[in-house]
């Protein structure tokens, strides 16, 4: 890999730096869900199930156990 900074001239290869930052992608994209109980939309990056519940209804579900 070429150096990002030319030591002799001190020039910085900004195009290579931009390309490196574009190559880094975030795996956990935030997704939009609709609560099955109240039909309110909410966002989550960790949920993967089939019965999405908003924070209000998730907390009620945990307390009832």
CA distances from 37 to 13, 20, 49 (A): 53, 43, 15
pLDDT in tens, 6-62: 888 888 888 888 887 766 655 557 889 999 999 999 998 888 889 999 888 887 655
How sure is the predictor about 1, in pLDDT bands with cuts at 50, 70 and 90? very low
Exposure string over 3-12, b if 16+ CB within 10 A, otherwise e: eeeeeeeeee
Closest Cα partner for 44 from 36, 22, 35?
35
């Amino acid at each position: 890999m070429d150096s990002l900074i030319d030591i002799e001239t001190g020039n910085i290869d900004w195009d290579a730096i931009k390309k490196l930052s574009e190559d880094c992608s975030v795996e956990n994209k935030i997704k939009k869900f609709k609560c099955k109980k109240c039909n309110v939309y909410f966002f989550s990056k960790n949920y993967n199930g089939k019965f999405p519940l908003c924070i209000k209804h998730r907390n009620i579900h945990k307390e009832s156990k």
